[in-house]
Amino acid sequence: MKVNSGILEDEIEYCEKQISVVENNEIISKYPKAREKLNLLKEIIEDDSN
């Protein structure tokens, strides 16, 4: 379920869960566009965490 609390930590946690779902789904993770967006999301989360 999408988070709408406006709290950054909640948004990051939601994104991390989505990353896990996509990485664990072999069908989705094989698509180059999905992999590209996944990598972008991971970079954004890493930047926000630092």
Answer yes or no: are the C-beta atoms of 41 and 17 closer than 8 Å: no
Whether 17 is in a domain gets the answer: yes
Whether 2 is in a domain gets the answer: no
Whether 24 is in a domain gets the answer: yes
Sequence-distant (6+) residues with CB within 8 A of 17 are none
**pTM passes above 0.85:** no
Q: So what's the pLDDT on residue 49?
A: 65
The structural domain count of the chain equals 1
pLDDT digits (tens, 9 = 90+) for 1-50: 778 888 888 999 999 999 999 999 999 989 999 999 999 999 999 886 66
Q: DSSP class of residue 5? A: S
Q: So what's the pLDDT on residue 50?
A: 65
21: tokens are 């779902």
* Residue range of the domain that includes 35: 8-49
3-state secondary structure 18-48: HHHHHHHCHHHHCCHHHHHHHHHHHHHHHHH
